[in-house]
Structure 1
Amino acid sequence: MTNHVTQQRIQADLQVKASIEPQYEIEARVDFLCSQMIETGQHALVLGISGGVDSTVAGRLAQLAVEKARDKGVDARFYALRLPYGEQKDEDHAQQALTFITPDEVLDINVKPASDALLASLEEGGLTFQDAVQRDFVLGNIKARQRMVAQYAVAGAKSGLVVGTDQAAEALMGFFTKYGDGACDLVPLTGLTKGQVREVGAALGAPAILVEKQPTADLESLKPQLADEEALGVTYTEIDAFLTGQQVSEQAYTTITNTYQRTDHKRQLPRTP
């Protein structure tokens, strides 16, 4: 199978368009969130806000969706959650995102006590690690899953649906924690490349500092604010080019396709006999 054919297949699987009209995407995705809430009989949307462009854009779409639902007579609300592990180094960006989103309600939930307690219990129960790096990696995934536990707790209390922030670039690279930030009910950024998310963010009027911010999952305590691109071994420019059918270097192509294959289990439902 040629490189181009492989790219086309993956592009179709991840529902990527070569180019977008941002205003159309805004309206379509707001409509999606609103209709899903109404059809399921739920009355709230819940999303963790980190200060990155993905959660900023998804958060604003969620707020617009509940406002549209209220116009239709539905008593709907958007709950924006701050979910720091202790003190977040770029907390100012998270606060700027909240100011832009103007959510109906904000809940501030520190996931550090629960995350640390679980890791301690695991070690007390006999779990050992190869080294400090592996221990930190496991803790990072615990943080992501504790954040999702918190979001579903709020959703359960408020009859809501949890909104995810996954977009096509992260889906391609499997760059999310399984049953952590990868667990959600609605994924409004599906099919958008990283660059297209930025386009939508700019069209929504999000602060430029957030739209152009260097992405970081910020899960590793030993490497705080580690850039996604450093962790991935490939740039978002190359990932987006791959997703939109453009030619990329052989090194980028190999890294992307190998990662896509290796992380396939993350994009699938649990397997059965």
Structure 2
Amino acid sequence: MPKLSDRYYTGREAQRKLGITEPALRNLVNQRKIRKVIPPGKQYGVYLKAEIDDYAEKWMAFLTAKEPPKTTFEIAQLSDMDMVYDVALRAIGPTMSAELRRSWLGKNPESCYVVKHDDKVVAFFHLLPLKEECLMDFMAGKIRGWNITADNVETYEEGKPVNCLLIIASEPDLNDTTRMHYVSRLLRGIRQELGKLGRRGVIFSKFYATSETPTGIAMSIHAGMQEYGQRLNKRLTFVLDPETSTSFLLGDYKEGLMEWQKSHKQNRKNRISPANGQTKTPA
């Protein structure tokens, strides 16, 4: 007799297959992108393997798609902020000025990344470390992005925990396939940069994001972020915890941070004399 497990995944199995959290899986069900089936006499729902596998393949194809020719991923420069602002304005709506973004970048030169095509910014990613009070006020809707001054931006330092606000957008006036290429290139680049920061000992406590657009909400969900807090009209808030998340974005970061932790631990051990437990001093 065929078993239920032959054709269906449990909720936990579906999460692992897709690399997402339980709230993210629930959102996919609510959006009718994935069907949840409750078998007769059972309390918990299951998911058709064929549907989950197909969705996972499409998402992986999106993430690994090759970018169009001449597409580059770069750390943003001050001179890029006018183009970043232009993309954000058309993709998101009323947004932070180019001047304000330049002030953020001036405080932390590694807080924004861009994808360019023919020297034009077509996608960007703010990885903005903020002071706790400012970040929480923003997430609660007490302040908006244009109220975040450079004084509230943190720097990346070895061994220093930081919380980051994520802001992402891509050129809206393109077909879906081209936009997918650009965003895919952006996310792959961000994954690699997070790995570099991890190897330098930068400790990301949590990542936060908000969105009011269907594209932004879908991107947050697929990145493994969890919705939290109260919705403010159409504005949803998300959080990503590196300690518990299995998000594809964090793979390189976790490996890099582990390398730093091992090296840091070994260096501390080497500074302690095994004979008397005293710290070694240079001759």
TM-score, reference length from structure 2: 0.27
Higher RCO, Cα 8 Å, sep 6+: 1
**Bigger Rg over Cα:** 2
- TM-score w.r.t. structure 1 length? 0.28
Greater strand proportion: 2
